[in-house]
Structure 1
Amino acid sequence: MTGGFRQRMAWLHTWVGLWMGWLLFAVFLTGALSVFYEPITHWMQPERQTVARPAVDIPRALANAQRLLALNAADAGHWQIELPGDEDYAVHLHYDGQRGPEIRMDPESGALLPPARDTAGGRHFITFHYELHSGMVGVWIVAFFTMALLVALVSGIVTHKRFFADFFTFRPRKGQRSWLDAHNALGVLVLPFLFVISYTGLIIWWPDTMPAGVRMFYTDQRALFDEMGGAHFREAASRSAGTRTGALPNLPAMFADAQARLSRDSQGNDSIERVSITHPGHANAEVEFSGPYHYDGIDFAAARHYHYDAATGAFRSAEFDDEMVGNGDAPAPLIAGSVLRSLHLARFGGTMVDWLYFLSGLAGAGVMATGLLLFSVKRRNRKLEEFGRHSARVYDAIDRLNVAAVASLCIACIGFLWANRLLPVSLDERHEWEIGAFFAIWLAAALHAAVTPPARAWRLQLGGAGLLCVALPVLNAITTPWHLGRYLYHGDWRAAGVELGALACGAALLWTATYLRHRLGTGASAPRLATGGRR
């Protein structure tokens, strides 16, 4: 670490980017996929997909659901009924102490429907993105690497003299220069996104990752939670049930009143989605009708709720979620936290912003990948020896780690979707098997990268990931009654989008693998495009 200020920043950018880039690539790739976690989950549960969605008699559905819950969960302290929607034609029932698979009910007949397959769904990518499926330990690891990313971003800005000119410069087929141009162009393109997504990602977990401030001003995190509106939830949960009467509320009559109030408050744009009954069959039972959650740049999770006395059916109150920061009485920390959280989670702007975040996330992953490859190509061309007589071994290990971090993860991500279709539907704890398959595939691919010359490993793994992507629609057609043409015919764009996206990614990966095979077969150009290793 010698030379002037810029040279020192270049050293910091290079080595922080290398040691942190492997995991940050995974964080950015899974973060990009998590933007569309709902369509992915929808595709991963084909049992919920229907050819047609007939009009549902909601009062009848409520009566059927109430009767079923009274027979199977009379002693539960809380019932919840999820009404049919775009996600599923069935009614979903939940109650305290529920065990086993989800309860799905035909809204017309009241008959039980087969449960949808147990799956981790798109939330697998969310959970890996912020905690690596490791709980708070994973949160701390990701937070540390995110801080390192901010260091790499600042040092990268200092390093480049021609910062904006780099964005308009790309020299193809120039080996190291091409990788540098790609790294610079992608970095400049998504630089504001990288700063915002990194900072807001840290802020989301500030009570846990920066506990000193909480301990300085509050006795514990419960006191902080109370100030931010949590006392209301604890008070509602501790409300006495009263004596047991066995009487059940008249849900259809209350539903009509709640829907009329919601239509008036939302100008007719919303419908009741959930019905919750607290202490059913008791004197102090309460019924709550909830509209859909709305996300925008201010409100993180805002929904309208209407409360009724279960015994008399009398209307009690209407409220928004307490976490709504549009309320002028909301604490300032809650307002700031909700805005930053919405920025990180893309809870505003609709589909256009979702695609912007998705493409920016992929570009961020591209910044990490090109930086890792640039490190290897630069040292191969200049024959640097930062590790003395062990330099060749260290560089070769880094080459193999690059393959394991980038190409192997791509195989694991698409392999996760394959596992959803290949694992038995009735398998216990099936979602855990899917997650286990993801890590097992990643480990197997990483071991392949460890024992295969890097140049060959890149071609094989990128090509393998591409084949798995383009074959995903075929696998789906073989293992389920659905296929891409049927999705498109019935207008199921969420499921169709997953398969079209897989085809697009597969085509890009296969093109890359073919290009590398061609370039690596041309002799003199091979070392400049390869990431190292013997061919």
Structure 2
Amino acid sequence: MTPVLRARLSWLHRWTALVAGWIVFAIFFTGTLSLFDAELTRWMQPESAEILPEQPLSDQALEHAMQILRDDERQGKPSAFLSLPSARDPLLHIFRYDGHALIGPALNPRDGRLIATRQTEGGAFFFNFHYTLRLPSPWGEYLVALTTFFLSLLILSGVLLHLSRLIPDYFTLRLHAATPRCLLDLHVLTGTAMLPFHIMITWTGLFLLGNIAFPLISHDAAPLPPAVVEHHHLPTFLLAPLVHKTERLTGNAVTYILFSAEHIAIYSLRPDSLSIHDTPMTFDNVTGQAVAPPPPDRVERAEALLTGLHMAHTMGPVLRWLWFLGGLAATVMVASGLVFHTARRRASARQLTSPRLERLNAGIMSGLVFASLAYLWTNRLIPYDWKDRSMLEITTLFVLWGSTALLAFGLPRAVLWSVPLALTALAGLGIPLLDLLTGPSHLWRHSLFLSVDAVCALTGLAALSGALWMRPRT
């Protein structure tokens, strides 16, 4: 590679990161959390802990859910769909899309009894933020799609810059070197060690966002979010026989059921699959007779594979944890690259806007991690019956994130990183104690709650280590 080409690639890599880096960090961080969105929602609704994943769905519970839907229809409520129990979420849900997340009551799959869970978006907040940044549609999707395009440029230019040292970079991390050198090692290591994952997740995300913003594939019944259709279209016959027929013909458990004016679409997904292949069994809304849907073409099969690879919703726990580690590596890659840029400018005495960028780095990146942990704290501390508690949780997250960013501009440079990281450490390490004090006594017998508590505590330990490591270097 000629020096001129290297200089141009370095310029492209540096300035693309400055333009899109903070948004890329937020996208990667929230996307990583959204891999376990259902588990986070269950943690944030501890009242549902009494329902075990192995509990089967009864015909009585399904019919009770249908009766609730019919009552809602008579009252003029927007259309809804049913989400059936699964290994990740053992509850029977009646979901409506509110513009940001799927909300609605939860039912006991054994008898259809309503479970009084606290109002929260739970992990769905991170899923929605990941591809909309919580901005109005379609502007959020447009911005994330543009940012993902910048990310593809970052990965391409980064690979070309380090192509000659791709293998040695797998084994290079000098923690005791000067700050810029150590940060560069960390940036390159997390980039090269999970490079296939970074490329896959970027290009599948770009495809999915492009398909949301500029749809290329039309579907007769798109599952998420369900469209609001006219009322008085719910079937009056029993739904359970159709569910059993679908499971018998497909060999897979039913995951959700959608209703339209003419048809009932019953979806089943193959577990532990890379592809979200969700062609439904369709039944007539009046007679209950099966209606043969058109077979999926190659484009739709490719879309199902790309969607499954990106979202990992149908993957088994091992692959989903591997995707989680890949997301963490991507998040660290972006963070270390942004901090490296300001550290190098400071070391070379090229100040200009470097102090402001350094404070923005500390406030935005550590602030998002701290605010996300505080989101869990807020969920447990707000009174159960507080009005609009779900919106209060989200508002608190954004207020704390913004406050941490502002705090970074008022802190002495010597504690610029150590203070927000110390707050993050306290929030993370305190989650297990919070869970013990505010949850029912039997929570600690559930592996899901223990897993969330453990990950939060590990995040706190990582933040504490970062605070101790950064303080003498700032």
Q: Tell me the TM-score normalized by structure 2.
A: 0.83
Question: What secondary structure does 2:434 align onto?
Answer: helix
Q: CA deviation at 1:415?
A: 1.2
**What one-letter code is carried by the residue in structure 2 that aligns with 1:141?**
L
> Equivalent residue for 2:126?
125
Q: CA deviation at 1:511?
A: 2.1
CA contact (8 A) 1:90 1:107 kept: yes
d(CA) in 2 for partners of 1:348 and 1:273?
11
> Equivalent residue for 2:152?
150
Indicate how the Cα distance of structure 1 residues 68 and 238 shifts in structure 2: closer, same or farther if over 3 A, else same: closer
Q: CA deviation at 1:131?
A: 1.4
1:200-219 to 2 correspondences below 5 Å: 200-207=204-211, 211=214
CA contact (8 A) 1:48 1:87 kept: no
Deviates more, 1:459-468 or 1:374-383: 374-383
d(CA) in 2 for partners of 1:89 and 1:162?
48
**What one-letter code is carried by the residue in structure 2 that aligns with 1:189?**
A
d(CA) in 1 for partners of 2:460 and 2:291?
50
Question: What secondary structure does 1:294 align onto?
Answer: coil
Deviations for 1:182-217, whole angstroms, at most 9, x for unmatched residues?
A: 2221111122222221222111122465x5xxxxxx
> Equivalent residue for 2:183?
179
> Equivalent residue for 1:300?
276
Question: What secondary structure does 2:201 align onto?
Answer: helix
Q: CA deviation at 1:124?
A: 1.1
d(CA) in 2 for partners of 1:183 and 1:238?
49
Question: What secondary structure does 1:174 align onto?
Answer: coil
Q: CA deviation at 1:414?
A: 0.7
**1:516 aligns to 2:456 (yes or no):** no
Deviations for 1:444-490, whole angstroms, at most 9, x for unmatched residues?
A: 111110111233021111111011011012122222325xxx4342x
> Equivalent residue for 1:166?
169
Q: CA deviation at 1:10?
A: 1.8
Question: What secondary structure does 1:4 align onto?
Answer: helix
Indicate how the Cα distance of structure 1 residues 185 and 109 shifts in structure 2: closer, same or farther if over 3 A, else same: closer
Indicate how the Cα distance of structure 1 residues 464 and 45 shifts in structure 2: closer, same or farther if over 3 A, else same: same
CA contact (8 A) 1:186 1:367 kept: yes
**1:339 aligns to 2:314 (yes or no):** no
**1:487 aligns to 2:443 (yes or no):** yes
Indicate how the Cα distance of structure 1 residues 506 and 333 shifts in structure 2: closer, same or farther if over 3 A, else same: same
Question: What secondary structure does 1:377 align onto?
Answer: helix
Any gaps of 5 or more consecutive residues in structure 1? 212-220, 280-284, 386-390, 521-528, 531-535
Paired residues, what number?
462
> Equivalent residue for 1:445?
404
Q: CA deviation at 1:21?
A: 1.8
1:422-501 to 2 correspondences below 5 Å: 422-482=381-441, 486-489=442-445, 492-501=446-455
CA contact (8 A) 1:304 1:318 kept: no
Q: CA deviation at 1:300?
A: 2.1
- Alpha-carbon RMSD across the aligned residues, in angstroms, is 3.7
**What one-letter code is carried by the residue in structure 1 that aligns with 2:158?**
G
**1:403 aligns to 2:372 (yes or no):** no
Question: What secondary structure does 1:120 align onto?
Answer: coil
> Equivalent residue for 1:214?
none
Q: CA deviation at 1:502?
A: 0.6
**What one-letter code is carried by the residue in structure 2 that aligns with 1:414?**
L
Question: What secondary structure does 1:205 align onto?
Answer: helix
Q: CA deviation at 1:364?
A: 0.8
Question: Which is greater in Rg?
Answer: 1
Indicate how the Cα distance of structure 1 residues 95 and 250 shifts in structure 2: closer, same or farther if over 3 A, else same: farther
d(CA) in 2 for partners of 1:50 and 1:363?
35
Deviations for 1:94-146, whole angstroms, at most 9, x for unmatched residues?
A: 7999xxx84455677776543x1111211111222111100322222222222
Give the fraction of aligned pairs with identical amino acids, expressed as a percent: 28
Q: CA deviation at 1:7?
A: 2.0
d(CA) in 1 for partners of 2:257 and 2:312?
27
d(CA) in 2 for partners of 1:399 and 1:129?
24
d(CA) in 1 for partners of 2:219 and 2:147?
31
d(CA) in 2 for partners of 1:123 and 1:94?
12
**What one-letter code is carried by the residue in structure 1 that aligns with 2:458?**
A
CA contact (8 A) 2:277 2:305 kept: no
CA contact (8 A) 2:58 2:111 kept: no
d(CA) in 1 for partners of 2:53 and 2:245?
25
d(CA) in 2 for partners of 1:348 and 1:304?
16
1:45-124 to 2 correspondences below 5 Å: 45-50=45-50, 58-62=58-62, 64-65=64-65, 73-74=73-74, 92-93=93-94, 102-104=104-106, 112-114=114-116, 116-124=117-125
Deviations for 1:264-320, whole angstroms, at most 9, x for unmatched residues?
A: 3345x63x56566767xxxxx87x48364336666424265363675xxx6511667
Q: CA deviation at 1:425?
A: 2.5
> Equivalent residue for 1:190?
194
Indicate how the Cα distance of structure 1 residues 17 and 102 shifts in structure 2: closer, same or farther if over 3 A, else same: closer
Indicate how the Cα distance of structure 1 residues 249 and 441 shifts in structure 2: closer, same or farther if over 3 A, else same: same
d(CA) in 2 for partners of 1:346 and 1:365?
18
> Equivalent residue for 2:328?
362
Deviates more, 1:88-97 or 1:16-25: 88-97
d(CA) in 1 for partners of 2:344 and 2:228?
61
Q: CA deviation at 1:32?
A: 1.0
CA contact (8 A) 1:83 1:90 kept: yes
**What one-letter code is carried by the residue in structure 1 that aligns with 2:436?**
A
Q: CA deviation at 1:17?
A: 2.2
Question: What secondary structure does 1:343 align onto?
Answer: helix
Indicate how the Cα distance of structure 1 residues 46 and 4 shifts in structure 2: closer, same or farther if over 3 A, else same: same
Question: What secondary structure does 1:290 align onto?
Answer: strand
Indicate how the Cα distance of structure 1 residues 36 and 394 shifts in structure 2: closer, same or farther if over 3 A, else same: same
Deviations for 1:400-442, whole angstroms, at most 9, x for unmatched residues?
A: 1110122111111111111111223223332222221111000
d(CA) in 2 for partners of 1:376 and 1:437?
30
d(CA) in 1 for partners of 2:368 and 2:221?
43
Q: CA deviation at 1:80?
A: 5.4
Q: CA deviation at 1:93?
A: 4.8
CA contact (8 A) 2:96 2:104 kept: no
d(CA) in 2 for partners of 1:23 and 1:438?
17
Deviations for 1:489-528, whole angstroms, at most 9, x for unmatched residues?
A: 2xx32222111111111122112223334xx1xxxxxxxx
Question: What secondary structure does 2:15 align onto?
Answer: helix
d(CA) in 2 for partners of 1:433 and 1:96?
19
1:216-365 to 2 correspondences below 5 Å: 228-230=218-220, 249=236, 251=238, 255=240, 257-258=241-242, 260-267=244-251, 270=253, 288=264, 290=266, 292-294=268-270, 299-302=275-278, 305=281, 307=283, 316-317=289-290, 327=295, 330-347=296-313, 349-365=315-331
d(CA) in 2 for partners of 1:146 and 1:54?
39
d(CA) in 1 for partners of 2:328 and 2:53?
35
Q: Tell me the TM-score normalized by structure 1.
A: 0.75
d(CA) in 2 for partners of 1:148 and 1:397?
22
d(CA) in 2 for partners of 1:187 and 1:153?
8
> Equivalent residue for 1:420?
379
Indicate how the Cα distance of structure 1 residues 15 and 488 shifts in structure 2: closer, same or farther if over 3 A, else same: same
CA contact (8 A) 1:18 1:371 kept: no
